[in-house]
Structure 1
Amino acid sequence: MALTEAKVLQDGQTKLWKHTFSFAVSMALKCAVDLRVADIINSHGVPISLSQIAAKIDSPSPNIPNLERIMRLLVRKEIFSAHQRPNSEETLYGLTASSRWFLHDSELSLAPFISLQNSEWLMAPWYRLAQFVKESVPGGSTGFSKCYGSEIFDFASKNHEFNKLFNAGMESTATVMVDAILTGYKDGFSSIGSLVDVGGGNGHMISKIVKAHPHIKGINFDLPHVIAAAPKHKGVANVGGNIFEAIPKADAIFMQRVLASFNDEDSIKVLKNCLKAIPKETGKVVIIDPLLDLENEGPFDEMIAALDLSMMMLCKGGQERTKLEWQKILEASGFLLNRVIKIPAVLTIVEAYPA
């Protein structure tokens, strides 16, 4: 075998090993979040030793050797940094730009999202992935429903613990994205008198929009069991209902990570209800979702491709969409795509007006 051919095969094997054990990184990351390792380090203000980390872990007898092995992997993945204490063999662990994103007490924290995505509830459906290639049943079930006997939103309405975890995870991503959205769509919000946040959860996003644009009358619209747990926000009315039946009337409709949960047929039904809720001449719909790009290699493109699979497993007909796919379902709903606004985040702003 030629040297170059052997090198190619070895590189292929290396990449395969890496992908096979990539789950270990996710689990180690979840472990660090659960143990609040980043918060412990941050509370000291400087890099600290394993024994100092272990002393603050909520356990009477933490296993320091096991912690060291977990930290070793996370340092290699640049989640944490490692430094040698001067004149000592002891290693000190510090934060990096990545670990600062899962500090629990930070306003911009992805800790709840990491806990949600790596929970047993959302990991188990992935074991059904091959079935989605073998089976071709129109309107079939999801990996989630195969595990739990009901679709994810129905399950959340009956399981308080999961509902709390799900809402916290969604809120954390909305919080991280809100500044990029407010900046990227500043001119769009300025012309709106009233705005409905469809699938707004606990109202965090719409409250931020209203705070930045006090002239807007905000409506947080979601399923009744979600609204029942939503806090009150100044300038925002909480309204429960079903997006497949009717949407509260307003100048504009805002939807973040909503239509990715549905197939084209259901998305068109939702968009047609949006069309009924807004003024024919001046109304608009603002969709905030990842944009699936099959050609470019942007910083989030690989993750969006993975998100597409996640939506397939968790939501019946769930999918991320390309610009052309958005254009098609918008036109089928009575809208015209006006513009696509790229922002420095995993999400993209899609704006459309009544045709």
Structure 2
Amino acid sequence: MATNSYRVAHTNATTENLDKQSSSVHQNDVARHAALDLTLYSVVCGTLKAAIELGVFEILAKAGASASQKSLTAKEIAEQLVRPTANGTAVNSGYLQRILRLLASVNIVSESVAVVAAAEPGNFTSYNTHHQRSYALTPIGKYFVQAEDGFSLAPVILMGEDWVFKKAFDHLSAAVLDDSVDPFVRAHGKSQFQLNNDDPRVDKLFNAAMSSHARIYMEALLGAYHGFQDVNCLVDVGGCTGASLALITAKYPHIRGINFDLPHVVATAPTYPRVEFVGGNMFESIPSGDAIFIKSVLHNWDDEHCMTILKNCFKALPSSGGKVIVMESVLPDSINLQYENGGVKPMLGLRLDIAMLAYSSGGAKERTLHEFQQLANVVGFASVALITTIDFFSVLEFTRVAA
């Protein structure tokens, strides 16, 4: 009996050890794969940029809208590419197919494969078989079609992958060791906004990215947030040329809009119904309204500057109430790798936070809800409420008087 008991115990112990070893091996496999994935992280964005520059998504969108043809092979796409010069060389459809396959692996395009067999000339017993691959846009890929109405994330990719902006990351580690000079300034000798003023190409690249990004999220905001219903006069602080306010007043015709930005910015703005343009400096004063909208502005500034902006917002609201509607990324208090509450949302916000560190100056950053509440409390707002979140952008309401 003792021998049998020993054998059973020994067998159980051996099995348990094997299970632990197997689990450890599996964890190592997963960790190694994840680490290797990071080494090639940037390849997807670089490949996506190439596809945008080639006009691949527009070609696929046109095919997808056709009743007769929904997908195209790399060769069929290559035949439609616009070449800057005709130098006698053929477009390399093999290169293009490799680009498309990677994009298919991340669900930007879909891939269909058909096995094609063709007899070799003069040899009826031997066949060449090959896989004919065709591609179509996925719902994700449609966001990279450079449409005229501005609904595209293509300009955001073109900006982020441009050498001017990528070069700032070469100086990220240096800024950690010496924060007297920001990464972008280290890279170019001037701030990003100064470079925009000096270089029309960079300015156009940046403005196209910001406008496209804003247009997409304003449409999403108007579908998810209903806090404009009780607003009669809305002031958009840092509203650029008024595109956001125009969308709001189009949905809520009872609203009178005041688009507030620097004088030289509003001077180039188009005309919109029920939208008045006012030039000025948000660090000095802000036009009065019963509500103020401020989107993707506070993350450009450190806490001291943010408090100055919010104090001027506070003064611009009626003493009997009013609210500031803030649209910003809200960071999580801690990192949860189980992806709770939508998961991808805080991860995207953390990436944006590092982009602000690389591109911007003077303490620009994303903030947690607690940090927004601290800013609001110092200024004198009665409360801060997170109303809704769209992807990684949240809508906050800073109320002047307690309900």
* Partner residue, 2:190: 150
Which of 206, 215, 219 in structure 2 is aligned with 1:166?
Answer: 206
**Deviation by residue 1:83-111 (Cα, 9 ceiling, x = unmatched):** 12474632111111210111112643211
Aligned counterparts of 2:173 and 2:347: Cα–Cα separation in 1:
20
Aligned counterparts of 2:49 and 2:302: Cα–Cα separation in 1:
30
1:308 aligns with 2:353: yes
How far the C-alpha of 1:7 sits from its partner, in A, is 4.2
Aligned counterparts of 1:237 and 1:301: Cα–Cα separation in 2:
36
Which residues in structure 2 correspond to 1:1-355 (within 5 Å)? 4-45=23-64, 46-59=70-83, 60=86, 61-85=90-114, 87=116, 89-105=131-147, 107=149, 108-135=151-178, 137=179, 140-186=180-226, 188-295=227-334, 297=339, 298-316=343-361, 317-354=363-400
**Contact persistence 2:108–2:138 (CA under 8 A):** yes
User: So what's the TM-score if we normalise by structure 1?
Assistant: 0.92
Counterpart residue type for residue 96 of structure 2? L
Contiguous gaps of at least 5 residues in structure 2: 1-17, 65-69, 118-130
Counterpart residue type for residue 54 of structure 1? A
User: So what's the TM-score if we normalise by structure 2?
Assistant: 0.81
Say if 1:58 and 1:115 are closer, same or farther in 2 by CA, change over 3 A: same
The secondary structure found in structure 2 opposite 1:90 is strand
Say if 1:124 and 1:216 are closer, same or farther in 2 by CA, change over 3 A: same
**Deviation by residue 1:97-134 (Cα, 9 ceiling, x = unmatched):** 21011111264321122222222222111111212321
Mean Cα deviation higher: 283-292 or 113-122: 113-122
How far the C-alpha of 1:167 sits from its partner, in A, is 1.8
Structure exhibiting the larger radius of gyration computed from Cα positions: 2
* Partner residue, 2:11: none
Aligned counterparts of 1:159 and 1:332: Cα–Cα separation in 2:
39
How far the C-alpha of 1:4 sits from its partner, in A, is 4.7
**Contact persistence 1:38–1:102 (CA under 8 A):** yes
Counterpart residue type for residue 132 of structure 2? E
Aligned counterparts of 2:371 and 2:192: Cα–Cα separation in 1:
24
Say if 1:153 and 1:276 are closer, same or farther in 2 by CA, change over 3 A: farther
The secondary structure found in structure 1 opposite 2:72 is coil
**Contact persistence 1:341–1:349 (CA under 8 A):** yes
How far the C-alpha of 1:264 sits from its partner, in A, is 0.9
Mean Cα deviation higher: 5-14 or 147-156: 5-14
**Deviation by residue 1:256-308 (Cα, 9 ceiling, x = unmatched):** 11101111111111111112222222222110011111345323221111111
The secondary structure found in structure 1 opposite 2:326 is strand
CA RMSD of aligned residues (A): 2.1
Percent identity reads 32
How far the C-alpha of 1:143 sits from its partner, in A, is 1.4
**Deviation by residue 1:209-265 (Cα, 9 ceiling, x = unmatched):** 011111211122223343343322222122333222222222221111110111111
**Contact persistence 2:383–2:400 (CA under 8 A):** no
Give the number of equivalent residue pairs: 351
**Contact persistence 2:104–2:111 (CA under 8 A):** yes
**Deviation by residue 1:32-85 (Cα, 9 ceiling, x = unmatched):** 112121110111121101111112212144222221221121111111111124
Higher relative contact order (CA 8 A, sep 6+): 1
Contiguous gaps of at least 5 residues in structure 1: none
Counterpart residue type for residue 311 of structure 1? M
